């Protein structure tokens, strides 16, 4: 595909100005606007966004209710943060999060700027509250891009980042690529290893993604989350569920941990919560989140504009029944992906299509029997999908992460499913060159 001059010129300026440490690029994407589930590329091409900006645009771009809330809060702005002055937006948002998140009455809400800081603050608060240091986490996990949250993230550590010295990594139960060799023993094995770690003592908390996303859309078998709850209860250890990517309706229930009716001690939120603005939250016991006072200070945390956006997002999720819609749309999209993959005869490269609601993974393999990850094909498919008008990224090196906005229309879900299957066929057919994908490191 020929890249228009306006697009290539912006990309060239980006390469000379914006730091590489914050780039995770898959194809030459540069956008100038967005509406609902669509992005408008520099140059005017309309793209269907099947990532929703890694779910941060999870109710669509420019939702009128969110735009209205942001405009009202910013045109008459009560300060720029919440650390030294209270304002109604942050209190209302905290109250709303307490209402929709299960747990005891005696809880508080931390409001932050990103999923990373919510997890980081919570992990440190657990250490402080318990006087214990160790943190149990999982291989293939993702909890943040800097600091302690990064140091307990399996994907970063497995890619060479320095692990936090207090982190202990346990295999995450993956029924498709079982670390034990058998899908029916993964939960038991992970829980047995957890028990050993907890018995060794000095554990402040266990942090877990309810569905592992960056690790490759891994949906743990039933019994895992409830097993974590039981083990944490047995040893008096705090259970943190990281719902930053898949929470607030995306899996077809309000919280992904609801699929096992588990009640975590602490829940972290982010991405979709901000309606496209930087906003995160952690909900947990007062005994953990109330002290020490002034130990987690980000100047713009509790910002009135982002808090107003967060409230509007939660209202939209409720008023537009996005939780149940996500369940129905997700099932339709999953079926549609399977049927297009089969119609185009590319099943030999697609090891698995799995999902829960609008969190779907298409696992690309080199060999159906060995399930070996096809990293090269993933790069080419993502590139080809962009050429054909769909934005989709991959995780775990080879799994297409399909997480469209919860508001995506059925007709667009069908169009996107067809394009993704066609991109797989075209990529296998050699329609994406080595030169085209060479500049993109991917994930």
Ligand X SMILES: Cc1ncc(COP(=O)(O)O)c(C=O)c1O
Chain residues in the site for ligand X (CB under 6 A) = 54, 114-116, 119, 142-145, 209, 213-214, 242, 244-245, 270-271
> What are the tokens at 388?
């054909």
Q: How far is CA 84 from the centre of its chain?
A: 30
How many whole angstroms separate alpha carbon 118 and alpha carbon 186? 29
- For residue 259, the 8-state DSSP code is G
Residue with smaller CB distance to ligand X, 237 or 241: 241
Q: Which of 89, 142, 383, 394 is catalytic?
A: 142
Q: Clarify whether 393 is annotated catalytic.
A: no
3-state helix, strand, coil in the chain (%, to 5): 40, 20, 40
How many whole angstroms separate alpha carbon 69 and alpha carbon 124? 33
Least distance in angstroms from the C-beta of 141 to ligand X: 8
Least distance in angstroms from the C-beta of 438 to ligand X: 25
- For residue 221, the 8-state DSSP code is P
Q: Are 382 and 238 in contact (CB under 8 A)?
A: no
Least distance in angstroms from the C-beta of 358 to ligand X: 15
Residue 380: enclosing H or E segment and its boundaries?
helix 375-388
Least distance in angstroms from the C-beta of 182 to ligand X: 27
Q: Are 37 and 409 in contact (CB under 8 A)?
A: yes
Residue with smaller CB distance to ligand X, 229 or 271: 271
> What are the tokens at 282?
């952690």
Residue with smaller CB distance to ligand X, 27 or 393: 393
Report the length, in residues, of the chain: 443
Least distance in angstroms from the C-beta of 122 to ligand X: 11
Residue with smaller CB distance to ligand X, 37 or 51: 51
Number of H helices, E strands in the chain: 14, 16
- For residue 75, the 8-state DSSP code is H
Q: Are 127 and 133 in contact (CB under 8 A)?
A: yes
Least distance in angstroms from the C-beta of 274 to ligand X: 9
What is the chain's alpha carbon radius of gyration, rounded to the nearest angstrom?
Answer: 21
How many whole angstroms separate alpha carbon 249 and alpha carbon 247? 6
- In the complex, residue closest to ligand X by CB: 115
Least distance in angstroms from the C-beta of 214 to ligand X: 6
Least distance in angstroms from the C-beta of 210 to ligand X: 9
Q: Which is nearest to 251 in space by CA: 282, 207, 219, 206?
A: 219
Query: In the beta sheet, which residues pair with residue 238?
Result: 205
Distances (CA, A) of 48 to 118, 140, 303, 335, 391: 30, 28, 31, 19, 6
How many whole angstroms separate alpha carbon 136 and alpha carbon 207? 6
Residue with smaller CB distance to ligand X, 122 or 337: 122
Sheet holding 390-391, edge to edge: 31-35, 38-41, 46-49, 390-391
> What are the tokens at 218?
């891994």
Residue with smaller CB distance to ligand X, 298 or 344: 298
Catalytic annotation, residues: 142
């Amino acid at each position: 595909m020929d890249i228009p001059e306006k697009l290539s010129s912006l990309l060239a300026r980006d390469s000379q100005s914006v730091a590489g440490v914050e780039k995770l690029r898959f194809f030459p994407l540069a956008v100038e606007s967005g509406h609902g589930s669509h992005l408008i590329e520099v140059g005017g091409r309309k793209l269907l966004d099947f990532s929703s900006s890694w779910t941060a645009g999870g109710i669509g771009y420019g939702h009128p209710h969110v735009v209205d809330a942001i405009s009202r809060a910013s045109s008459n702005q009560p300060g720029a943060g919440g650390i030294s002055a209270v304002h109604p937006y942050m209190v209302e948002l905290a109250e709303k999060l307490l209402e929709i998140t299960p747990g005891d009455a005696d809880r508080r809400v931390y409001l932050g700027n990103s999923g990373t800081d919510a997890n980081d603050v919570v992990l440190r608060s657990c250490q402080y509250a318990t006087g214990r240091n160790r943190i149990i986490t999982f291989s293939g996990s993702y909890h943040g891009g800097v600091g302690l949250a990064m140091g307990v993230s399996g994907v970063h550590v497995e890619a060479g980042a320095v692990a936090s010295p207090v982190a202990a990594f346990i295999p995450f139960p993956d029924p498709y690529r079982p670390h034990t060799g058998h899908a029916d023993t993964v939960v038991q094995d992970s829980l047995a290893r957890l028990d050993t770690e907890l018995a060794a003592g000095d554990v402040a908390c266990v942090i877990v993604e309810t569905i592992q996303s960056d690790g490759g859309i891994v949906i743990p078998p039933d019994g895992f989350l409830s097993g974590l709850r039981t083990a944490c209860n047995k040893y008096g250890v705090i259970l943190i569920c990281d719902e930053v990517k898949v929470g607030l309706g995306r899996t077809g229930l309000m919280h992904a941990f609801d699929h096992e009716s588990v009640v975590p001690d602490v829940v972290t939120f982010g991405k979709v919560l901000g309606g496209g603005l930087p906003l995160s939250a952690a909900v947990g016991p007062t005994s953990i989140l109330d002290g020490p006072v002034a130990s987690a200070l980000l100047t713009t945390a509790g910002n009135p504009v982002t808090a107003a956006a967060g409230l509007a997002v939660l209202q939209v999720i409720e008023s537009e029944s996005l939780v149940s819609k996500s369940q129905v749309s997700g099932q339709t999209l999953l079926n549609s992906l399977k049927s297009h993959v089969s119609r185009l005869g590319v099943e030999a490269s697609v090891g698995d299509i799995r999902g829960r609601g609008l969190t779907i993974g298409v696992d690309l393999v080199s060999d159906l029997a060995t399930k070996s990850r096809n990293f090269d094909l993933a790069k080419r498919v993502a590139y080809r999908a962009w050429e054909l008008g769909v934005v989709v990224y991959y995780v775990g090196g080879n799994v297409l992460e399909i997480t469209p906005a919860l508001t995506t229309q059925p007709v667009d879900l069908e169009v996107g499913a067809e394009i993704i299957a066609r991109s797989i066929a075209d990529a296998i057919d050699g329609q994406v060159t080595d030169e085209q994908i060479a500049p993109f490191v991917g994930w």
